[in-house]
Amino acid sequence: MTDLPDAAPGPRPGAAVKIVARAAQKRFPTRRGMVTAMESVDLEVAEGEFVCVVGPSGCGKSTFLRILAGLDHVTAGEARIVPGPDPTQPLNAVVFQEYAIFPWKTVLANVAFGPQMRGVPKREREALARRWLVKVGLERFEDYYPAQLSGGMKQRVSIARALAYDPQVLLMDEPLGALDAQTRAVLQEELLRLWEETRKTVVYVTHSIEEAVLLGDRVVVMTAHPGTVKTEFRIDLPRPRDLTTTSTPEFAALTGAVWEALRDEVRAAMAQGENEVAA
């Protein structure tokens, strides 16, 4: 029998820290009073690390990502990206589950948008956008509009646009969650390949344990509402990875261990939902 992994707090010793969260809290006002979405979140992510965050619905995963993106702020504590040495390089780019691309722009113009905002000349930014379209297999669709694309193709555009922006950190909030199983599997392999090429620092929120173990260097498990970090697992599966990785005993042991840590939190979240309905 394959040994189960030990919980692994924090990045590997000696790694440069790129993301820091210390006692991070977020509270929201509601008609019933203040609600705590996340409480005392402590997390460090190393430069170039791919960290996946899993947890039950409503545990604050997306809230944490929005705070890192600068779209929201903590109520207490801190959660921030440590800036790199180049002040002109954007801190982050976000890929959401919804296809957050401009419907009035072509595929090429969507991918070139980030470089355009950075002041890159038109010819140079279009050449850059075309290189990323080749990487995601959409070079034949540069003149198409989003309405002419499938869901998987739209998400490829979103990913290419984020990477063309060349952020220090890539934040991904359930980016494949709305796709069918086959398209999701293809894009998981594409993400693995693109990450091997770029080695971006990534924080990736997902409900899928299998996806988290396949993609991540580390899997962070959050508790039910209010969310905090329950435990972490270091994913020492060899890279590069692809879908054949999911058939190994080591993969099965890791997914089983993550589920063991997550099961009670999912049940707790379901009970909370039932109590709210009853109230």
| Percent over 70 (pLDDT), the chain | 94
Q: How far is CA 191 from CA 107, 127, 240, 243, 259, in A?
A: 19, 22, 11, 12, 23
- On the question of pLDDT at 263 being above 60, the answer is yes
Q: Which amino acid is at 44?
A: E
Looking at the DSSP assignment, which residues form a beta bridge with residue 28? 35
Task: Say how many CA atoms lie within 13 Å of 189 toward its Cβ.
Answer: 11
Q: Which of 218, 229, 235 is nearest to 64 (CA)?
A: 229
- Mean pLDDT over 8-34 rounds to 86
Calpha distance 274→113 (Å, rounded): 44
Residue 42 three-state SS: strand
DSSP 7: B
Are 146 and 253 in a shared domain? no
| CATH code of the domain covering residue 83 | 3.40.50.300
Question: How does the average pLDDT of the chain come out, rounded?
Answer: 91
Are 145 and 182 in a shared domain? no
Calpha distance 24→225 (Å, rounded): 14
- Look up residue 81 and give its two tokens: 């990206």
What's phi and psi for 182, nearest 5 deg? -70, -45
- In this structure, of 19-23, 239-243, 264-268, the range with the lowest mean pLDDT score is 264-268
**Residue 5 within any structural domain of the chain:** no
**Residue 43 within any structural domain of the chain:** yes
Residue 118 near residue 88, CB atoms below 8 Å: yes
**Residue 3 within any structural domain of the chain:** no
- Look up residue 139 and give its two tokens: 């070079």
pLDDT digits (tens, 9 = 90+) for 164-204: 999 999 999 999 888 889 989 999 999 999 999 999 999 99
pLDDT band per the 50, 70, 90 thresholds, residue 6:
low
- On the question of pLDDT at 272 being above 90, the answer is no
Burial (CB count within 10 angstroms: exposed 0-12, middle 13-18, buried 19+), residue 75? middle
Q: What is the predicted pLDDT for the residue at 246?
A: 97
DSSP 214: H
Q: Which amino acid is at 219?
A: V
Q: Which of 82, 84, 79, 55 is nearest to 68 (CA)?
A: 79
- Look up residue 166 and give its two tokens: 């060349």
- On the question of pLDDT at 279 being above 50, the answer is no
Q: Which helix (H) or strand (E) holds 248?
A: none
Are 132 and 215 in a shared domain? no
DSSP 53: E
Are 198 and 265 in a shared domain? yes
By residue range, what is the domain housing residue 140? 103-166
**Residue 2 within any structural domain of the chain:** no
Q: Of 166, 188, 209, at which residue does a domain stop?
A: 166
pLDDT digits (tens, 9 = 90+) for 206-218: 999 999 999 999 9
Q: What is the pTM of this model?
A: 0.92
Calpha distance 61→115 (Å, rounded): 29
